């Protein structure tokens, strides 16, 4: 048995869901002079027909239908009635056609006296309509059974209807229901019996399958049946005080509006049902007179129970206050003197969970300690259901426990900050269950996806959105290699199966692998050059601008961490760390590779500065990320701080020198602090602008299908402010190098290259502008483009149309572009770039040389050559352009590939590979130089 609040309603379409239209005799509409009519009723839960009444919507227009013809009803005739607006074609088929006899302000129709229908209980009649019946579906008459449903029970209580509870705890009919006694309510055989009896009594018009909303168990997915039982409740007439406590708490994240959602629940909630029909659980301290349920008492402590006990205390003492021991204790009623027994019910689990701040912190016996720890600083749970469960129980019980102790809501709150989050779902966004094998066990996810990967996934997730974790494949068992040895079963005895996760794949691809590759890049070259981290530090001012930039970016990340962690906004920090890793890997290291590639030179301070910068960044980054990815961070830290693992051979005495300066573990380090001397916001901003220009340039190349290896002649950048122009001037060489472009020009507009056309969006402007819309359609395309340009960057503009000022938002205007065939363009937030796409013979030849270098580098990789290995390059081609290109670009090719020589050779398919160089196919072979 589960409570109404634990059920879930789903749209179901099973074989045995029926729509039944029943006619009830011996009732008529007074306005028709007392003539008997048949009233057709709509029903989907068959078993409730055994204990039901019928209700009709008041003020619903009905149409009368003659039984034997298509004519309307006359005075004294019998017939059928249906709502004038029937929303179902199938029902129309059953009812033949509409006529125009309308009965307004109809009254409810009662069935026969309950005593004539049931042998269980005598009942009365009801003659009241219900607003729960709606037109447009069914017949306008709906069946209600006050003992078989939540809404029905409310209607019954409000109107004094008899509530008959036909089902026992096992969901079967109790004694007194004739052929239904002992039958399971939702058994298809029971449904068939209901239909058979309706048909025998000539009460059945039609049966068909009908999909509808029906509650299911949230644990098993089984269909539920409602059963009317007695329970214990707490009167929640102090909800206003709870609301005030709720408003004294910080609810995160802001996007879920947690405070208002909790207040809304408190406003609309019913009294709190605290009892459960179970054996295991918190024993409710309620003692009741078996002969008089109104004679009950609530015991507040074990000491009070001991004093009041008149029976069973000696057997109970020494046991925990749970069943069966506490059930033997009896007390005497102070009001009547009768002996009271404890109720058999146990408490709602949320009652126990909500009292935790008091029951576990010594509220009753160590108030000083309790005051030191109350309230909690932080709690977190999934929010879809906890507004009415754990959050609610904590708030309610804390408010009541301190009701007479303080008037300050802040002193009553059980916690200061709450972080709500949504749910972990499978790849399709569906819940995962043990019953269908989709639940992913920790061992499976940890061993196959990696624990650091999981932590990054969870911490980077927006808590207001579900995390679509992945999929467990129960048909693909796997053996997992754990530190304790191989396992093929979880601790729960389930077979371990393949787990796949797209979010985990993305975390590894975008963040963890680039982070590890950056670390590996450093240690590999540091080992080759015997880099000594203990060498004299080169001041930041003496390092290259790109070194100062990455150190400044690191300071910004440290600042973000100090802002995000105290605000419980870990996702902000993790996502910022991801952006930093991208900058480190795809900008700093990629653009600095040649500094590390240079030959070892003890006097090369620029190369030393590069090593010191990257070492400092990686070491600090391991400390910053330790709370997020503790294992990978520890591995990086141990090597960089103590020279273990990949750096172990860097120097004979480096380990001791470094080991004495650092804590034993990254998790014992002080968290990094911002160094203001290294923070340069202006440099960060200008570099970010340069990166945006490069990104837009790559976008244009991709649209034009031009690889970056193919050089282009010119890029023009349209600047909207002085900061953008300053960034272009400062990073012109960088932008040109990144995009492989010969010239970069900052400009104020792209006239002659890009033409913008502005048209009104009639969907948004129509409701706003009304009569002005015609004038806007005519005049908007004629306005100067520069006047409307702010719309492209998300700003509003005001224009004059027909002598009237009109405010235009970006969504009010449709913008289209046309551009010169020789150019390609892209824009983002006001920044526009245009690339000249026309290729000259010289540009084509340079692109071929770059292609050749790429093919040689790929051949080096596949030959498993060491980074420092020199090579000899051989090629074969009869194309003059290929031979001319290699000869003209020989120095560039040899320098980029560590080649000693590039020469023609007699190559065959057996001893060489076929590769593309521009549009030409050539043969290529490399060998390690002797």
For 428-453, how does the pLDDT look when each residue is reduced to its tens digit (9 = 90+)?
A: 999 998 878 889 999 999 999 999 99
**In whole angstroms, what is the distance from residue 710 CA to residue 166 CA?**
82
pLDDT at residue 112 is higher than 50: no
With bands split at pLDDT 50, 70 and 90, how would you rate the model's confidence at 40?
low
Q: Please state at what angle helix 239-247 crosses helix 390-401, rounded to 10 degrees.
A: 110
Judged on CB neighbours under 10 Å (0-12, 13-18, 19+), 606 is middle
Whole-prediction pTM value? Answer: 0.76
Joined together, the tokens standing for residue 235 give 């009167």
Q: Angle CA(853)–CA(857)–CA(859) in degrees, nearest 5? A: 115
**Mean pLDDT of the chain, nearest integer:** 83
pLDDT beyond 60 at 39: no
CA distance 497 to 488: 8
Closest listed residue to residue 596, CA positions, set 608, 584, 578, 580: 608
Over residues 78-86, mean pLDDT: 45
Residue 657 confidence (pLDDT) above 50: no
- pLDDT (average), residues 381-408: 92
pLDDT interval class at 374 (50, 70, 90): very high
Which tokens is 34 given? 């007392």
Distance CA 147, CA 153 (A): 6
Looking at residue 132, its pLDDT comes to 52
Tokens of 294: 């109104």
Q: Count the alpha carbons within 13 Å of 452 in the hemisphere toward its beta carbon.
A: 18
Find out whether 714 and 743 touch, Cβ atoms under 8 Å: yes
Higher per-residue confidence, 771 vs 862: 862
SS3 596: helix
Parallel, antiparallel or unpaired: strands 250-252 and 754-760: unpaired
Q: How many other C-beta atoms can be found within 10 angstroms of the C-beta atom of residue 921?
A: 12
Confidence grade of residue 848 (pLDDT, cut at 50, 70, 90): very high
State yes or no: pLDDT of 86 exceeds 50: no
More confident residue, 382 or 21: 382
**Parallel, antiparallel, or unpaired for β 913-917 and 920-928?**
antiparallel
Average pLDDT over residues 479-486: 89
CA angle 650, 653, 657 (to 5 degrees): 105
Whether 21 has a pLDDT exceeding 60, the answer reads no
Peptide bond before 803: cis, by omega within 30 degrees of 0? no
Structure tokens belonging to residue 219: 């644990």
How confident is the model at residue 139, as a pLDDT?
56
Q: In the chain, pLDDT over 70 holds for what percent of residues? A: 83
Residue 52 gets which letter from DSSP?
-
* Band of residue 38 on the pLDDT scale cut at 50, 70, 90: low
Evaluate if residue 614 carries a pLDDT over 90.
yes
Q: Which two tokens stand for residue 658?
A: 């470094």
The mean per-residue pLDDT over the stretch 906-927 comes to 92
Under 8 Å CB-to-CB from 187, ≥6 apart: which residues? none
Q: How far is the CA of 217 from the CAs of 225, 306, 352, 382, 430, in angstroms? A: 10, 41, 23, 19, 15
Q: CB under 8 Å to 450, separation ≥6 — which residues?
A: 504, 508, 512
Residue 767: its pLDDT value, please? 81
Q: Tell me the CA distances in angstroms from 873 to 716, 910, 925, one per residue in order.
A: 38, 16, 6
pLDDT over threshold 50, residue 14: no
Quick check: 578 pLDDT over 50?
yes
Count of alpha carbons within 13 angstroms of residue 782, beta-carbon side: 8
pLDDT at 702 > cutoff 50: yes
Better-predicted residue by pLDDT, 672 or 205: 672
**CA distance linking residue 298 with residue 317, whole number of Å:** 19
Residue 645 has pLDDT above 60, yes or no: no
- The pLDDT tens digits of the residues spanning 858-915 come to 999 999 998 788 999 999 999 999 999 999 999 999 999 999 999 999 898 989 999 9
CA 430 to chain centre: 12
For residue 436, give the nearest of 479, 468, 469, 471 by alpha carbon.
471
For residue 691, give Cα distances in angstroms to 583, 684, 713.
9, 11, 20
DSSP one-letter string for 309-361: EEESHHHHTTS-S-TTGGGG-EEE-TTT--EEEE-S-EE-HHHHHHTHHHHTT
């Amino acid at each position: 048995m589960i409570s109404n609040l634990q059920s879930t309603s789903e749209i179901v379409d099973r074989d045995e869901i029926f729509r039944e239209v029943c006619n009830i005799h011996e009732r008529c509409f007074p306005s028709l002079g007392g003539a008997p009519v048949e009233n057709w009723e709509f029903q989907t839960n068959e078993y409730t027909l055994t204990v039901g009444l019928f209700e009709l919507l008041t003020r619903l227009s009905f149409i009368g239908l003659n039984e034997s013809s298509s004519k309307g009803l006359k005075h004294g005739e019998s017939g059928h009635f249906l709502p004038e607006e029937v929303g179902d074609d199938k029902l129309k088929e059953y009812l033949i056609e509409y006529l125009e006899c309308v009965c307004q302000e109809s009254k409810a129709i009662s069935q026969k006296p309950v005593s004539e229908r049931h042998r269980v209980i005598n009942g009365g009649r009801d003659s009241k309509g219900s607003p729960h019946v709606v037109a447009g579906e069914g017949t306008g008459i709906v069946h209600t059974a006050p003992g078989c449903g939540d809404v029905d029970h409310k209607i019954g209580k409000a109107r004094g209807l008899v509530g008959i509870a036909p089902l026992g705890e096992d969901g079967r009919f109790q004694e007194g229901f004739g052929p239904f006694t002992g039958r399971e309510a939702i058994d298809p055989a029971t449904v068939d019996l209901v239909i058979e009896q309706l048909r025998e009594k000539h009460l059945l018009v039609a049966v068909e399958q009908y999909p509808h909303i029906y509650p299911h168990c949230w644990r098993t997915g089984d269909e539920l049946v409602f059963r009317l039982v007695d329970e214990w409740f707490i009167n929640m007439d102090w909800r206003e005080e709870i609301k005030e406590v709720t408003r004294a708490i910080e609810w995160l994240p802001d996007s879920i509006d947690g405070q208002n959602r909790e207040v809304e629940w408190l406003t609309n909630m019913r009294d709190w049902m605290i009892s459960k029909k179970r054996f295991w659980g918190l024993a409710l301290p309620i003692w009741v007179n078996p002969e008089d349920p109104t004679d009950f008492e609530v015991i507040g402590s074990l000491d009070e129970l001991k004093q009041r006990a008149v029976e069973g205390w000696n057997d109970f003492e020494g046991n925990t206050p749970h069943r069966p021991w506490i059930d033997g204790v009896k007390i005497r009623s102070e009001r009547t003197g009768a002996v009271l027994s404890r109720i058999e019910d146990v408490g709602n689990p949320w009652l126990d969970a909500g009292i935790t701040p008091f029951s576990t912190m010594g509220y009753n016996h160590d108030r000083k300690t309790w005051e030191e720890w109350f309230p909690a600083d932080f709690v977190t749970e999934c929010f879809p259901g906890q507004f009415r469960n754990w959050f609610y129980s904590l708030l309610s019980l804390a408010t009541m426990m301190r009701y007479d102790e303080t008037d300050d809501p802040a002193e009553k709150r059980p916690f200061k900050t709450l972080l709500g989050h949504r749910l972990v779902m499978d790849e399709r966004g569906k819940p995962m269950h043990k019953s269908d094998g989709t639940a992913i066990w920790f061992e499976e996810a940890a061993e196959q996806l990696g624990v650091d990967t999981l932590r990054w996934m969870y911490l980077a997730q927006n808590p207001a959105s579900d995390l679509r974790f992945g999929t467990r494949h129960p048909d693909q068992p796997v053996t997992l290699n754990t530190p304790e040895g191989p396992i093929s079963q979880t601790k729960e005895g389930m077979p371990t199966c393949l787990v796949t996760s797209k979010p985990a794949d993305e975390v590894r691809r975008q963040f963890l692998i680039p982070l590890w590759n950056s670390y590996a890049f450093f240690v590999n070259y540091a080992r080759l050059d015997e880099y000594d981290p203990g060498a004299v530090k080169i001041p930041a001012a003496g390092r290259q601008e790109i070194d100062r930039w990455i150190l400044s970016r690191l300071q910004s990340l440290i600042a973000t961490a100090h802002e995000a962690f105290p605000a419980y906004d870990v996702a902000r920090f993790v996502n910022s760390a991801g952006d930093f890793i991208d900058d480190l890997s795809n900008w700093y290291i990629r653009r600095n590779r040649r500094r590390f590639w240079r030959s070892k030179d003890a006097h090369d301070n620029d190369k030393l500065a590069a090593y010191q910068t990257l070492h400092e960044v990686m070491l600090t980054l391991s400390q910053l990320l330790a709370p997020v990815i503790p294992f990978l961070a520890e591995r990086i830290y141990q090597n960089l701080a103590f020279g273990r693992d990949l750096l172990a051979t860097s120097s004979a005495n480096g380990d001791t020198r470094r080991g004495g300066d650092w804590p034993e573990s990254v998790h014992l380090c002080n968290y990094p602090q911002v160094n203001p001397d290294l923070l340069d916001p202006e440099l960060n901003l200008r570099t970010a602008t340069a990166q945006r220009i490069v990104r837009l340039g790559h976008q244009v190349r991709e649209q034009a299908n031009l690889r970056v290896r193919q050089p282009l002649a010119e890029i023009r950048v349209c600047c909207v402010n002085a900061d953008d122009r300053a960034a272009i001037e400062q990073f012109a060489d960088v932008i040109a190098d990144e995009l492989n472009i010969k010239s970069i020009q900052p400009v104020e507009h792209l006239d002659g290259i890009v033409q913008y056309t502005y048209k009104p969006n009639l969907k948004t402007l129509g409701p706003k502008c009304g009569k002005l819309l015609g004038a806007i359609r005519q005049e908007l395309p004629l306005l100067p483009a520069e006047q409307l340009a702010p719309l492209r960057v998300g700003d509003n503009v005001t224009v004059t149309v027909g002598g009237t000022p009109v405010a235009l938002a970006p969504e009010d205007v449709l913008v289209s572009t046309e551009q010169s065939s020789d150019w390609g363009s892209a824009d983002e937030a006001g920044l526009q770039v245009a690339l000249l796409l026309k290729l000259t013979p010289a540009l084509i030849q340079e692109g071929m040389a770059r292609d050749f270098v790429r093919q040689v580098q790929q051949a080096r990789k596949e030959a498993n050559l060491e980074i420092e290995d020199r090579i000899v390059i051989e090629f074969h081609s009869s194309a003059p352009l290929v031979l001319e290109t290699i000869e003209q670009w020989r120095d560039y090719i040899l320098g980029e590939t560590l080649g000693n020589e590039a020469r023609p050779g007699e190559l065959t398919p057996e001893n060489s590979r076929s590769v593309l160089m521009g549009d030409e196919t050539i043969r290529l072979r490399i060998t390690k130089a002797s």
